[in-house]
Amino acid sequence: DARVTQTPRHKVTEMGQEVTMRCQPILGHNTVFWYRQTMMQGLELLAYFRNRAPLDDSGMPKDRFSAEMPDATLATLKIQPSEPRDSAVYFCASGLTPLGRGRSSNSPLHFGNGTRLTVT
């Protein structure tokens, strides 16, 4: 089965350190998303790419977070410097979003298993 792969599964780091999370989307999917999940806020969209172009990163703190897709098989989310309030589970998801006609058709998101980040 094709699946979204995220690394690392767990990361514990000290405040101020850089954190890099990686995601390999499903081959052929044209959209990639980064979500953050916490008990208080639920699933929050951080960034969104279509055909590797960033479309929406309004949910991401720009001063410390950055998201890139260096190629179609790799998406990265970096936090520098990390802070304790960044502790959360970070999910990458990919999908196939139809363009133009037929946009009402369903294109479910496929989530990776997440990176559980703890910043002390």
Partner 1 sequence: GQSLEQPSEVTAVEGAIVQINCTYQTSGFYGLSWYQQHDGGAPTFLSYNALDGLEETGRFSSFLSRSDSYGYLLLQELQMKDSASYFCAVRPNSGNTPLVFGKGTRLSVIA
Q: Does 43 bind partner 1 (CB under 8 A)?
A: yes
Separation CA 36–CA 42 (nearest Å)? 8
Comparing CA positions, the residue from 45, 51, 60, 115 lying closest to residue 87 is 115
| Out of 45, 72, 74, 96, the residue judged to bind partner 1 by CB under 8 A | 45
Q: Does 63 bind partner 1 (CB under 8 A)?
A: no
Cβ distance to partner 1 smaller for residue 10 or 85: 10
Q: Does 24 bind partner 1 (CB under 8 A)?
A: no
Report angle CA 94, 33, 54 to the nearest 5 degrees.
115
**CA R_g for the chain:** 14
Which parts of this chain interact with partner 1 (CB under 8 A)?
31, 33, 35, 41-43, 45, 48, 50, 55-56, 91, 93, 97, 103-106, 108-114
